[in-house]
Amino acid sequence: MKIMLRQERGKRDRVLQELLGRTDHPTAEELYLTLREKGEEISLATVYRALRSLAEEGLVATLPIAPADRFDPTTRPHYHFHCLRCDRVFDLDLPYKPELDRASEKLGFSVYHHTLVFHGLCPACQEKTRRVE
């Protein structure tokens, strides 16, 4: 007989509750420090684990802000496709749409440019997935 999923994952829930109460997109360490300040006894490792599992289950999202570890020789603005299966990134031959900036400028932001990434399956991985099923 299978063991049921434990409902009592106290620390994980505390991490989730803390994150739900904020709008500043914190890192694992920032959440950890806040929780400790609030008197919660929790370890940094648990915060990392909690966030990872919450993100895997889709209860929490990670930010789509650019990291600096992969480079693109094309500086002309263009969009990307990110394959969730093979992790490759493709340059897309689509027109850049500066008019998208207008909407956020109406909210008071001064927009220099934007980045747009589509996530899904590339043609090769669609093929592979089809064969497996």
Partner DNA sequence: CTGAGCATGATTTTCATTGTCATTATACCT
Partner DNA sequence: AGGTATAATGACAATGAAAATCATGCTCAG
Chain residues that interact with a copy of itself, rule: CB under 8 A: 16, 19-20, 22-28, 31, 51-52, 54-55, 58-75, 79-82, 84, 88-94, 100-101, 103-104, 107-123, 126
* The token pair that represents 29 in the structure block: 């360490």
Stretch that binds DNA, among 2-10, 82-90, 107-115, 122-130 (CB under 7 A): 2-10
Instruction: Provide Rg for the chain, Cα atoms.
Output: 20
Beta-carbon contacts of 18 under 8 Å, excluding residues fewer than 6 positions away, are 31, 34, 35, 38
Q: Which does 45 bind (CB under 5 to 8 A by kind): DNA, a copy of itself, none?
A: DNA
Minimal distance in Å, beta carbon 1 to a copy of itself? Answer: 33
Residue 102 near which of a copy of itself, DNA, none (CB within 5-8 Å, type-dependent):
none
Residue 122: which of 88, 77, 71 has the closest Cα? 88
Q: Is 132 in the site for DNA (CB under 7 A)?
A: no
Residues 12-51 touching DNA, rule: CB under 7 A, are 12, 27-29, 41-46, 48-50
CA distance 106 to 14: 36
Provide the residue type at 117 as one letter: V
